[in-house]
Amino acid sequence: MSTVDVKLRRVNLRDESVSEVDDVVTSDRAVCVFINDKFYRTLITTPAMVKELVLGHLLCEGVVESIDDVEALEVDPLKVWVELKNDVDLDLINMGKVDLITTACGSLSAPPREDQLGSLRRAPEVRVEAERIWEMVTELNRRSDLYRSTGGTHSAMLCSLDGTVRAFAEDVGRHNAVDKVVGAGVLGGVDLGRCVLVSSGRQSSEIVLKVARSGIPVIASVAAPLESGVNIAKATGITLVCFVRGRRMNVYTHHGAIVV
């Protein structure tokens, strides 16, 4: 279940009234991930699309390069067991994760140093109509039922360049929502290099870095970018579009990809 029923006391200062109200809040669970029988990380998530979450997380965090690296993935129900074809150094992957406090709510990766940016995957060059971007964000908002009922989630959506929706997810974490739709796209055989990642959350380096690793060339967000996110987008060729609201949008990087 993605929500749980609660009873609350609502205080209204306008008329100094107090009333008992039935409401719903978003569920969150701790999902422990094990790789090759070793503990990897605990993800705090809305308990839906867990398989997609873990697969997308491994891809977007650079643990694997493609779905072909994954031998098996078993969800059981709050533990996920992943078997990779090759051994990975989990100590190296997790090194320093407690030494840096980031803006992330689901990603523990430190932003890459400037001298590391050249090693990141370069996004393919694409062109997408501005009207399609607006329609994608409108559709993201339309589908965000869990947010409307609880106010406690972020949304992400994966779309083809023509606006066709390939995957949609809501989660308590904006990073988790991105991981889920990337994982769903990979499982569905979607060509991520011909897609737009649509997001409700702000675009920090952690989010943009996830998208860069996945090979998606365009990000469209309702929210704001951070300087770190703009820098990653510039370095990797990603077109970063933010503040898509009220028939307006700001294109921060690689402006030529957006056709007006």
Q: What is the CATH number of the domain that holds 238?
A: 3.40.140.10
Annotated catalytic residue: which of 105, 159, 195, 242?
105
**For the chain, what is the domain count?**
1
Residue 85 lies inside a defined structural domain of this protein: no
Which pLDDT score, from 0 to 100, does residue 110 have?
A: 54
Whether 200 and 155 have beta carbons less than 8 Å apart is answered as yes
At 18 the three-state DSSP class reads strand
Please name every residue paired with 30 in a beta bridge, in sequence order, or none if there are none: 44
Does residue 189 register a pLDDT over 90? yes
Q: What angle do CA 106, 252, 247 make, to 5 degrees?
A: 95
Asked if the structure places residue 204 within a domain, the reply is: yes
Sheet holding 195-199, edge to edge: 165-171, 154-160, 195-199, 218-221, 239-245, 248-251
Active site residue 242: no
For residues 69 and 89, the model is more confident at 69
Q: Which amino acid is at 197?
A: L
Residue 189 belongs to some domain of the structure: yes
Element (H, E) at 43: strand 38-45
Rounded to two decimals, the pTM is 0.90
Is the distance from CB of 201 to CB of 104 less than 8 angstroms? no
Residues 6+ apart with CB under 8 A from 103: 202, 204, 206, 226
pLDDT at res. 15: 92
Range of the domain at 132: 128-259
